[in-house]
Amino acid sequence: MDRHRGVTPRMAKSTNSPRRASSLSCPAGNALMNTDPTLFAAIDLGSNAFRMMIGQQDGAGAVRQIQPVETLREPVRLAEGLQGEALDAGALQRGWQALERFGKRLRGFDATQVRAVATNTVRVAENAAEFLAGAEQRLGFPIEVISGHEEARLVYTGVAHTMPDQGSTRLVVDIGGGSTELIIGCGDRPLLMESLPMGSGVYSKRYFADGRIDSRALQLAERAALHEIEKVAQRYHELGWQQAIGSSGTARMLAKVLKAGELNDKGRSGITYQGLLRLSLALLDAGRMDRLALPGLAEQRAGTLPGGLAVMLAVFKSLGLDEMTPSEPALRLGVLHGLIHSPSPRRSRCEPTERDAVYGPAQD
């Protein structure tokens, strides 16, 4: 059981709010038309990659599940294109081209079958309106710029769907490219949610921009992440949890590298603190990103590894974790769940049953 005490939090203020665009016509192009009303699509415009998951309901009644049918991933690296506070021309084009491909696949989908959400990088970009105008035209559907809290809620919904557990309290950590969501929930109900301005893509660019990996850069990145987490850590320690879950691509990447490289202690799996320490030593030994040769590390993920590792180490240290279980891609599953299912009236066995989720001040 992971239950610890922390430091007094210091919250930041946010002025971000969700955005919903007007309806649009579908893009032109040669693609198969969808005529199946049971198919639904979730599009995630992340800071590292754009992803689309098409799924459908499997089963009925209380045992309904979401069955993924098709997934697409485009390594757009949107956060990498932030020059100052605006997206550069290269990032705009990469994003638009990816969404044009997604749009062709979505030909024939009704607006009620699709939800597209944009996260941290679009939230903070000064030229977000320019990007969204071109993005929506190419995708053929509205794109909603969601707040950090809505992102956290969707992440937890996805985890609750794929790892149902009505009795235990869980800490869910979602390290994205530009932000990190921390959620404590019980059963299918989030109890405490925060979104912090730190991510694998942003930190890799900020602290390892020249491709060098040295102890000073890794230490600076970890300290910066610790500073963000310690603003909110006390409330998480006070509430407590029984299991820690990593729901992002960063968590799955780290778990895969730790397993392939046999960096965890013998007999242990997932993400462990000792495994993360050994991985940090492997990065320092390599010295440069282009010298990394880690088993299990996909080439398109290598550029965000140092930043993601620094943030994960800070999470483990600040929240006193020893291990974490990786999960399926939660955000897109959470979006699909909202499209397919109406809210469930059942209550879990969690306590206290009368309280709703606590939304801390957003850290978008």
Pick from 146, 178, 208: which residue ends a domain? 146
d(CA 70, CA 52): 8
pTM (predicted TM-score)? 0.83
Q: Are residues 321 and 242 in the same domain?
A: yes
CA angle 126, 113, 50 (to 5 degrees): 40
Please check whether residue 174 lies inside any domain of the structure: yes
Domain of 134, CATH number, reads 3.30.420.40
Q: Are residues 186 and 313 in the same domain?
A: yes
Q: Are residues 139 and 176 in the same domain?
A: no
Helix locations, 38-185, DSSP H: 89-105, 120-124, 128-139, 148-162
Residue 281 burial (CB count, 10 A): 12
Say how many domains are in the chain. Answer: 2
Query: Quick one: CA dihedral 310, 316, 322, 327, positive or negative?
Result: negative
Q: Are residues 137 and 193 in the same domain?
A: no
Q: Are residues 137 and 215 in the same domain?
A: no
Q: Are residues 208 and 169 in the same domain?
A: yes
Residue, of 168 and 33, whose pLDDT is higher: 168
CA angle 107, 110, 114 (to 5 degrees): 90
Question: What residue numbers bound the domain in which 300 lies?
Answer: 164-331
Please check whether residue 209 lies inside any domain of the structure: yes
Average pLDDT over residues 261-280: 97
Please check whether residue 246 lies inside any domain of the structure: yes
Q: Are residues 318 and 262 in the same domain?
A: yes
Q: Are residues 130 and 169 in the same domain?
A: no
Domain of 238, CATH number, reads 3.30.420.150
Per residue in 170-223, pLDDT tens?
Answer: 999 999 999 999 999 999 899 999 999 999 999 999 999 888 999 999 999 999
Report the chain's mean pLDDT, rounded to a whole number.
Answer: 85
Per residue in 287-329, pLDDT tens?
Answer: 998 888 899 998 888 889 999 999 999 999 999 999 999 998 8
Pick from 111, 146, 181: which residue ends a domain? 146
Tell me what pLDDT residue 34 has: 62
Please check whether residue 359 lies inside any domain of the structure: no
pLDDT over 70 for what percent of the chain?
A: 82
Tell me what pLDDT residue 166 has: 67
Q: Are residues 293 and 178 in the same domain?
A: yes
